A and B are shown apart, each in its own frame.
Chain A
């Protein structure tokens, strides 16, 4: 990749993202994202899962632009339910409730939402620049990967996601293994042997990624919403008072926004650590740096803008490993990666060489998306209360209807519907047993690539597994994969030792 060529691709990406068709889907994406973020109980991964069947056969770039718009658009919308009804739509908005809700109770809901929107915009834009700058060296690093390195990379991604997402490493690993198991169903490409089809003809082509994610996200989420319905709904706080911040408040916001952005982006790049970890870290950083930390939790504006900035930056950060290595950094990017595979595009380091228009068109569309979002969201602050009043009963029925029609239309078969319902039940069980879902999605998406690279490596080495340690890159990735699984155990041991020291005194 020559520098001049790269700059050319970046610039051409702007032209691509400004094509009318792509602009239209960008607009649809960010509007949908905002709405979905506003509605408590459905996340961006669910929304993308529901839309996948409709986009099948569409121009992949337009679909991806729309999905990305939903992804970062939802981060804008998320804030309103956190601030106005003290209910985070997703876990990543939980930190915003800490200071956002007290602000709303003090009659400053409008100001909290405006500050959050501006913070999201600044942080979003800065992190797209970071994404643009970082993407090239990342992709170049992985460009000369052979099958052994690629296998080591997928193994590292899986183990990192397994150990970082849930509260228990073995449960994360279990989820990843289940994902890999589902990926082995169907005819083996190399030998033509049908595997684990259980005699079902429809499974010969494998179990579609789409059915699994609609089940695990949409259906399971509805079941959780059914439970939540019995707890009753909360009446949103109405927006009164000044919408804008004082000069002093703006001055106090700038540094937290920038710090939140950097923390969020960094955390987002790591596989498996999405917005939740980013917002917690950003909030903790601000509280530690504050001159009077006792204001936090009582409606401090810094406590609203820093997690919002971090949250938005983490969505961009998560795109770095997804686009450059084919390893997603979050739930939603895992679903987007699955979409790429569904469209017949092979993810991985070669994406930047093979599909420069796709990659740069997508990245550059995000600049414009953030501008649209800030223009859209500031006037929407007043309307958001009304959208929050959407009856959850109607919403549940609507999501189930859309999920079923989408899944059916994918292959015109009711077998898919029943399979989706089965995965929905499994997803509900996952939540009840506290098993994280992202490792399963990742295992499912990476499973076949992982097996292929494993077998290609074995062909090269005539069956000797030492090949996975034959190059520095592969060996390093293998060691990192093992270490990331052991990290929580080592941390635990370390804490035990620390506890033991004062007692020994």
Chain B
């Protein structure tokens, strides 16, 4: 069993779980027939059943070894790269959490400074210019379009 087989088998299981959960939720919907022989439940039922079948097929194919072997550079998945992806993800999440309390200008500038100084090392001046200019001009542009972004700690 290689990594791909395990991944595909798990995907199959996940799909079956998702399909079941969706069917369960669809079953809880009230069956209202307002001049409509099928009501709001039928279409979701069909999707749910198709998902279940799909999950079974994906899982079975993985176990029988029909998964495609010509996948991209999966083997070179270094942990540092995954760590970096996770880091960017959490950094973005933090940015969204402070988006309204701190305001767009401050939060976006800090967010961009962090990313630029990590991923574009050795060019501090360019990083500073971009990180301050982009949020500022975005704010002005959106104000021109009549969209107010959260001002947060600044008066305007």
Question: Is B85 a contact of A227 with CB atoms below 8 Å?
Answer: yes
* Shortest Cβ gap from B34 to chain A (Å): 6
Q: How far is the CA of A435 from the CA of B121 in the complex (A)?
A: 34
Closest to A405 in B: B138
Question: Is B93 a contact of A421 with CB atoms below 8 Å?
Answer: yes
Question: Is B47 a contact of A174 with CB atoms below 8 Å?
Answer: no
Asked whether B84 is an interface residue with its Cβ less than 8 Å from the other chain, the reply is yes
Q: How far is the CA of A193 from the CA of B88 in the complex (A)?
A: 39
Beta-carbon contacts under 8 Å, B3-42 to A: 7-8, 11, 15, 22, 25-26, 29-30, 32, 34-40, 42
* Shortest Cβ gap from B134 to chain A (Å): 6
Closest to A402 in B: B138
Question: Is B89 a contact of A397 with CB atoms below 8 Å?
Answer: no
Task: Specify which chain B residues have a CB less than 8 angstroms from the CB of A192 in the assembled complex.
Answer: 32
Closest to A222 in B: B88
For this complex, into which size category does the number of interface residues on chain A fall?
35 or more
Asked whether B153 is an interface residue with its Cβ less than 8 Å from the other chain, the reply is no
Asked whether A391 is an interface residue with its Cβ less than 8 Å from the other chain, the reply is yes
* Shortest Cβ gap from A331 to chain B (Å): 18
Question: Is B89 a contact of A223 with CB atoms below 8 Å?
Answer: yes
Beta-carbon contacts under 8 Å, A418-458 to B: 418, 421, 424-425, 428, 433-435, 451, 454-455, 458
* B55-68 interface code vs A (CB 8 A; 1 in, 0 out): 10110010000011
Q: How far is the CA of A446 from the CA of B88 in the complex (A)?
A: 33
* B73-90 interface code vs A (CB 8 A; 1 in, 0 out): 000001011001100110
Asked whether B140 is an interface residue with its Cβ less than 8 Å from the other chain, the reply is no
Question: Is A168 a contact of B29 with CB atoms below 8 Å?
Answer: no
Question: Is A401 a contact of B138 with CB atoms below 8 Å?
Answer: yes
Asked whether B44 is an interface residue with its Cβ less than 8 Å from the other chain, the reply is yes
Asked whether B102 is an interface residue with its Cβ less than 8 Å from the other chain, the reply is no
Choice from A167, A174, A184, A223 contacting B54 with Cβ under 8 Å = A174
* A459-498 interface code vs B (CB 8 A; 1 in, 0 out): 1001100000000000000000000000000000000000
Q: With A177-B54, A397-B131 as known contacts, state yes or no: A230 contacts B81, CB within 8 Å.
A: yes
Question: Is A393 a contact of B58 with CB atoms below 8 Å?
Answer: no
Question: Is B131 a contact of A409 with CB atoms below 8 Å?
Answer: no
Q: With A171-B58, A193-B29, A400-B115 as known contacts, state yes or no: A455 contacts B104, CB within 8 Å.
A: no
Question: Is A223 a contact of B88 with CB atoms below 8 Å?
Answer: yes
Beta-carbon contacts under 8 Å, B111-156 to A: 111-112, 115-116, 118-121, 123, 126-127, 130-131, 134-135, 138, 142, 145, 147, 149
Question: Is B32 a contact of A191 with CB atoms below 8 Å?
Answer: yes
Question: Is A458 a contact of B37 with CB atoms below 8 Å?
Answer: yes
Asked whether A246 is an interface residue with its Cβ less than 8 Å from the other chain, the reply is no
Q: How far is the CA of A392 from the CA of B127 in the complex (A)?
A: 12
* Shortest Cβ gap from A118 to chain B (Å): 33
Question: Is A394 a contact of B116 with CB atoms below 8 Å?
Answer: yes
Q: With A181-B47, A393-B116, A414-B96 as known contacts, state yes or no: A459 contacts B88, CB within 8 Å.
A: no
Choice from B32, B43, B71, B93 contacting A454 with Cβ under 8 Å = B43
Q: With A414-B96, A454-B43 as known contacts, state yes or no: A393 contacts B50, CB within 8 Å.
A: no
Asked whether A54 is an interface residue with its Cβ less than 8 Å from the other chain, the reply is yes
| Chain A interface, >50% SS class | helix
Closest to B97 in A: A414
Task: Specify which chain A residues have a CB less than 8 angstroms from the CB of B57 in the assembled complex.
Answer: 170
Question: Is A401 a contact of B89 with CB atoms below 8 Å?
Answer: no
| From B32, B43, B120, residue with most partner A Cβ within 10 Å | B43
Beta-carbon contacts under 8 Å, A380-417 to B: 391-394, 396-398, 400-402, 404-405, 408-409, 414, 417
* Shortest Cβ gap from B105 to chain A (Å): 11
Asked whether A190 is an interface residue with its Cβ less than 8 Å from the other chain, the reply is yes
Task: Specify which chain A residues have a CB less than 8 angstroms from the CB of B100 in the assembled complex.
Answer: 414
Question: Is A193 a contact of B40 with CB atoms below 8 Å?
Answer: yes
Question: Is A394 a contact of B130 with CB atoms below 8 Å?
Answer: yes
Choice from B7, B127, B130, B138 contacting A433 with Cβ under 8 Å = B7
Task: Specify which chain A residues have a CB less than 8 angstroms from the CB of B80 in the assembled complex.
Answer: 230
* Shortest Cβ gap from B103 to chain A (Å): 12
Q: With A223-B88, A394-B126 as known contacts, state yes or no: A458 contacts B38, CB within 8 Å.
A: yes
- By Cβ-Cβ distance, the 10 closest A-B pairs, closest first, are A393-B119, A393-B120, A463-B37, A397-B115, A188-B40, A191-B32, A417-B96, A451-B43, A397-B112, A391-B120
Report which A residues bind B (CB closer than 8 A).
54, 167-168, 170-171, 173-174, 177, 180-181, 184, 188, 190-193, 195-196, 219, 222-223, 226-227, 229-230, 391-394, 396-398, 400-402, 404-405, 408-409, 414, 417-418, 421, 424-425, 428, 433-435, 451, 454-455, 458-459, 462-463
| 17 examples of A-B residue contacts, CB within 8 angstroms | A54-B145, A171-B58, A174-B11, A193-B29, A223-B89, A229-B84, A396-B119, A397-B119, A398-B134, A401-B134, A401-B135, A404-B108, A414-B100, A421-B89, A433-B11, A455-B36, A459-B37
Q: 12 other contacts beyond A226-B85, A451-B43, A455-B36, with CB at 8 A cut-off?
A: A171-B11, A174-B15, A177-B51, A230-B84, A391-B123, A393-B116, A393-B119, A397-B111, A404-B99, A434-B68, A458-B38, A459-B36
